[in-house]
Chains A and B, each alone.
Chain A
Amino acid sequence: MKQYIIIGNSAAGISAVEAIRQRDKTAKILVFSDEDYLAYCRCLISYYLAGEVKEEKILYRPESFYKENNIELLLNKKVIRVDSKRNRVICEDKSQFSYDALLIATGASPKFPETKGIKKRGVFGFRTLKDTKGIAGLLPVTKTACVLGGGLIGLKAAYGLKKRNVEVKVIIKSRQVLSQMLDFQAAGFVQKRLEENGIEIILGQDVTEIIGNGDIKAIKLDSDKAFESSLVIVGKGVSPNIDLIKETEIKFNEGILANNLMQTNIPNIYTAGDVCESFDVTRGEHSVNALWPVAVEQGKIAGANMSGDNLNYIGSLGMNSIEFFGLPVVSLGIYKVKEGDTNFTELKLCDIKANIYKKIIFKDNFIVGAIFVGDIKNSGIFLRLIRERIEVSSFKDRLLQENFGYPDIMDLVKDKEQVYV
Chain B
Amino acid sequence: MKQLYYDVKKCLGCKSCEIACALAHSLTGELFKALKEEILSLPRKKVISSKDKNYPVSCRHCKDPKCVEACMAAALVFDKEKGMVLHDESRCVGCWMCVMVCPYAAIRPNIKTKIPLRCDKCKDKDEPSCVKACPTGAIIWQEEVVVEK
| Main SS class of interface, A | mixed
Q: Which of A43, A293, A322 contacts B101 (CB 8 A)?
A: A293
Closest-CB distance, B57 to chain A (whole angstroms): 6
Q: B16-24, B28-36, B42-50, B128-136: which one contacts chain A? A: B42-50
Closest-CB distance, A133 to chain B (whole angstroms): 19
A366 touches B (CB below 8 Å)? no
Complex Cα distance, B33 from A194, in Å, reads 36
Chain A: number of interface residues, binned into ranges: 35 or more
Closest-CB distance, B142 to chain A (whole angstroms): 11
Closest-CB distance, A339 to chain B (whole angstroms): 28
Complex Cα distance, B95 from A292, in Å, reads 12
Complex Cα distance, B100 from A41, in Å, reads 18
The answer to whether A379 touches B100, judged by C-beta atoms less than 8 angstroms apart, is yes
Given contacts A376-B100, A383-B101, contact A419 B5 (CB under 8 A): yes
Q: Which of B3, B73, B108 contacts A419 (CB 8 A)?
A: B3
The answer to whether A61 touches B74, judged by C-beta atoms less than 8 angstroms apart, is yes
Residue-wise, chain A 27-52 has the 8 Å CB interface mask toward B (1 for contact) of: 00000000000000111100100001
What is the chain A residue whose CB lies nearest that of B114? A323
What is the chain B residue whose CB lies nearest that of A384? B103
Q: Which residues of B contact A53 (CB under 8 A)?
A: 73, 93
Given contacts A44-B72, A418-B146, A419-B4, contact A407 B53 (CB under 8 A): yes
What is the chain A residue whose CB lies nearest that of B108? A377
A122 touches B (CB below 8 Å)? no
Given contacts A406-B55, A416-B149, contact A377 B105 (CB under 8 A): yes
Q: List 9 A-B contacts (CB under 8 A).
A: A11-B72, A43-B73, A53-B93, A293-B97, A320-B100, A328-B111, A380-B105, A403-B48, A406-B48
Q: List the 9 shortest-distance A-B pairs measured between CB atoms, nearest first.
A: A405-B48, A293-B70, A407-B50, A380-B102, A43-B72, A407-B55, A321-B100, A292-B72, A321-B96
Apart from A379-B100, A383-B101, A416-B149, list 10 A-B contacts with CB within 8 A: A57-B91, A292-B70, A292-B97, A320-B100, A323-B111, A328-B109, A376-B100, A406-B106, A408-B50, A421-B140
